[in-house]
Amino acid sequence: MPAPIILPQWGMGMNDGEVVKWLKAVGDPVAKGDQLVEIESSKVNAEVEATVDGTLGRIDVEEGRIVDVGTVLGYLLSEGDSESDLPAAAALTGSASTPAPPVVVAKLATAPAAAKGGKQIVTPRARRLAKEMGVDLVGIVGTGPSGRVTEDDVKAAGAVPGAGTAGTAAPLPESVIPVKVMVKLAGLRGVIARRMTESSTIPAVTLSTKADVTDSVAFQRSLVGEWRQYRLRPQYQDLVIAAVARALKETPKANAHLVGDEIRILDEINVGVAMAVTDGLLVPVIKNADKKSLLEIAQEVRDLAKKAKSNTLSIDEMTNSTFSITNLSSYNIDEFNPLLNPPEIGILGVGTVEEAAVVVDGEIAVRSIANLNLAFDHRAWDGAPAAEFVRQIAKFLSDPSWMKA
């Protein structure tokens, strides 16, 4: 029986994807695990793999088309199958890159357009086009499937004077300075750009605090000899991840996603760790971090870091985080405003650890003081509980005795 090639959902919040390129042609032999088609979504760029051995029997979705999650992209023929076994092609929903040119009138709303769950859904191509045209997506009602904003909606909004335009100022003329290098916002850089644009629309608040991590620094140093047998050097970030995982376990409301008008408190604690790579930033995920020892967390972080540098991270290793950490301590940065990674409602920005003179039990002592910055989505989380959460993290880092168990 022919096996369907289905567009999967790579992480919560992914609604659709664009077929960028078919990596196999009809009639090509394929083995289970072979990459069949490259997909671009608002979350990641990735490839759909073959689920069985066989040949590519039919392509149902051409390159450049955007379709919903769950759409059948084509079929694989296994041994004994023939073309006559293929089912009839289903009617597609979504938008194509070169659609017929119907007249589309922009629909403008007084509030942000909403699809299912009250959240505006914009196709990847429409978001890219809006950026190129300088069209503000807020206020555009989508005419695509499930209320999605499509390229046609963006074009129509751009053609209406004052509709969907970002501000009222006239566009600036292009620079006359000679261009040395032109870098397109495509691939990983494009995904990052779209994610940052999405994050910038969230009403986020950042709380900054300090933690006395003298004992954690001493504990980290004490592990150097013990971990030598694992060819592993302990890092301060390992302790931060463990502390965040414990704080999330004790504060379930912080371990949540905001999807549409729903706050979803999640059953797994998966900590995303931002890592800088040549082309930008990747956020691989420590799954079930609260159930892992400090050593297991450190080993997994090093493994993910190697894969990030070699561009070999799997989709599973990059999706379904419930909370994220971004660490700028090595850059001598104290305080900063980390950008949320939606649909997560919180992210911890880790600043420098500095030696400072503080009063302890009435006496001046030199202690290791860490800077912690918690950004949170104010729609889902209020200031007082968010402050208590970051205070918990500080407490766990101040007394690391629980990590020794």
3-state secondary structure the chain: CCEEEECCCCCCCCCEEEEEEECCCCCCEECCCCEEEEEECCCCEEEEECCCCEEEEEECCCCCCEEECCCEEEEEECCCCCHHHCCCCCCCCCECCCCCCCCCCCCECCCCCCCHHHCCCECHHHHHHHHHHCECCCCECCCCHHHCECHHHHHHHHHCCCCCECCCCCCCCCCCCCCCCCCCCCHHHHHHHHHHHHHHCCCEEEEEEEEECHHHHHHHHHHHHHHHHHCCCCCHHHHHHHHHHHHHHHCHHHCEEEECCEEEECCCCCEEECEEECCEEECCEECCHHHCCHHHHHHHHHHHHHHHHHCCCCCHHHCCCCEEEEECHHHCCCCCCCCCCCCECEEEEEEEEEEEEEEECCEEEEEEEEEEEEEEECCCCCHHHHHHHHHHHHHHHHCHHHHHC
The active-site residue, picked from 279, 303, 382, 399, is 382
Higher pLDDT, 271 or 93: 271
The answer to whether residue 215 is catalytic is no
CB atoms within 10 A of CB 26: 14
How far is C-alpha 6 from the geometric centre of its chain's CA atoms? 22
Higher pLDDT, 359 or 301: 301
Spans of all domains in the chain: 3-84, 104-168+182-201, 204-404
* Lowest-pLDDT range of 24-28, 196-200, 344-348: 196-200
Q: Residue 67: is its pLDDT beyond 90? A: no
Higher pLDDT, 216 or 38: 216
Q: What is the pLDDT of residue 200?
A: 76
Q: What is the pLDDT of residue 112?
A: 40
Q: pLDDT tens digit string along 137-161?
A: 776 777 776 677 777 788 777 665 4
Higher pLDDT, 185 or 137: 137
The answer to whether residue 382 is catalytic is yes
The active-site residue, picked from 136, 215, 334, 378, is 378
Q: What is the pLDDT of residue 237?
A: 96
Q: pLDDT tens digit string along 95-144?
A: 544 333 333 333 333 334 444 445 667 777 777 788 777 777 776 777 77
pTM score over 0.75: no
Q: Residue 299: is its pLDDT beyond 90? A: yes
Average pLDDT over residues 292-299: 97
Domain at 204-404: CATH code: 3.30.559.10
Q: Residue 253: is its pLDDT beyond 60? A: yes
Q: Residue 165: is its pLDDT beyond 50? A: no
| Assigned architecture for domain 3-84 | Beta Barrel (2.40)
Higher pLDDT, 297 or 281: 297
Give the pLDDT band (50/70/90) at residue 168. very low
Q: What is the pLDDT of residue 225?
A: 94
| Percentage of residues of the chain with pLDDT beyond 90 | 47
